[in-house]
Structure formats: C-alpha cells, structure tokens
Amino acid sequence: MTPPVVHSLREQIREHILEGIISGRWQPGERIVERHIAVELEVSQTPVREALRELESLRLIESAPNKGVRVRSLTAADLKESYPVRAGLEQVAAELAASKLAADTTALEREVAALCEADRAPDGEAQVRHTVAFHREIVLASGNSVLLHTWESLGVEVWTTLSIRWLSPEPRSHAQEHQELVDAFRRRDPAIGELLRTHVLSCAPRL
C-alpha cells in the first residue's frame, strides 16, 4: 500500500496502524501494543498513543481497563454508518459554497485532473486521496468552521480507504463523476446540494 500524503508524525503512525488493520496484521479482537509500535517505528510512545486515540474515536479500535487496545470487529454496516451523516453535511456545504464555487472552480478542477491520472493508472490510493481532497475543498468553500470541523471528525479518508480495500467495489470513473459536480457548480444548478448528497450516498458500501 502506497501511503497517502501525510503532514505529521502522528498521521504517519496512524497510517501505519491502519495499514496493519487493513492487511490483517492485526486481526479483529487482537491487541495492539503501544510500546511495540513505538520500538518498531523508533519513536516515542506519545505520538503512538495519539494515533491510537484517533483511531479509537473513529471506532476502528477499542480499549478497556486492564485489557489494552484491541481491533474492533467491523462489518459493512459499520462502514456504511457515516455516509448519511457525511452526505447531509456535504449537502449543506455545497449550498453554502454554491456562489463561491460557481465563480471559481480551480481547486475542484485540480483534484479532477489528479483523479484522471489516478483512474488511468489505476492507482487506488491516489483515487482515495484526491476524492477526499475534492470533497474537502467544497466543505472549505462553505466558509463554515463548525461544518469543517464536524466533517473532518468523521475520518472520511480512513473510512473511504477501508470501504474500498475491504469490500472491493467494482471500478468506477472517479474523475468523470466529480467533473459532473464541477459542471453543476459552474451552471449554478439550484439542486447542487441534493446532487452532492446523492453522490456521497452512492459511494457507501453495499450491505
């Protein structure tokens, strides 16, 4: 797995642990030992602890007194739960950002161009990275910091990665479907919020 672009030691450690969960290095119910990860990566236990707390907040792992941290047993239903919440947030974001993005879609077009390259490769990790970046640009354009914070707390990139790697949906044209959203912003489509909501829900894992 080619790791996504990260910007801090905590994020690098989080991706290392996430890859271990995805690949099966740590099985559901198995303990993840903070000290062992710190030794393996030659870092202090503090950033490892921070990364584990983040993954626990996303419900990928769970901790219990005297039992340590263990991998949760996740199902397709677990992966699907965040999508309706995300869809609602992005619907609001699109409606708030509609005027701004109608005037300037440069940031969105940049991610679509990157998705074209990822689709051609095909590069699944780049598809996830630029898909999430595209949607984040819409949330940013809303200008609502509470909305952005709530959206980021969902761990969109983590859940998208898990959905694709674990459930292996059929390949789809990521660039094309996101270009359609760019076109909708450009033409000031009054239904842009609903269009984005429908798009996000279509990405949810199938039970």
Please state, in angstroms and as integers, the Cα–Cα distance from residue 165 to each residue in 77, 168, 189, 205, following that order.
Answer: 15, 6, 34, 11
Band (7; pLDDT cuts 50, 70, 90)? low
Distance between CA atoms of residues 51 and 47, nearest Å? 6
Q: Which of 54-63, 107-116, 170-179, 193-202 is predicted with the least confidence, judged by mean pLDDT?
A: 170-179
What's the pLDDT tens digit per position in 122-154? Answer: 888 788 889 999 999 999 999 999 999 999 888
pLDDT at 6: 47
- Give the pLDDT confidence of 151-200 residue by residue, as tens digits: 988 888 888 877 766 665 556 778 999 999 999 999 999 999 999 999 99
- The predicted pLDDT at position 157 comes to 81
What's the mean pLDDT in 36-48? 94
CB 119 within 8 A of CB 175: yes
Q: How far apart are CA 203 and CA 83, in angstroms?
A: 8
- Across 63-72, average pLDDT: 86
Q: Per residue in 23-36, pLDDT tens?
A: 778 888 899 999 99
Q: pLDDT averaged over the chain?
A: 88
13 versus 6: the higher-pLDDT residue is: 13
Report the pLDDT value the prediction gives residue 1, as an integer from 0 to 100: 41
Spatial separation of the C-alpha atoms in residues 13 and 6, rounded to whole Å:
10
Structure pTM?
Answer: 0.79
Q: For residues 46 and 76, what is the distance between their CA atoms, to the nearest angstrom?
A: 32
% of the chain residues with pLDDT over 90? 55
Inform me whether the pLDDT recorded for 44 exceeds 50: yes
pLDDT at residue 167 in the model: 60
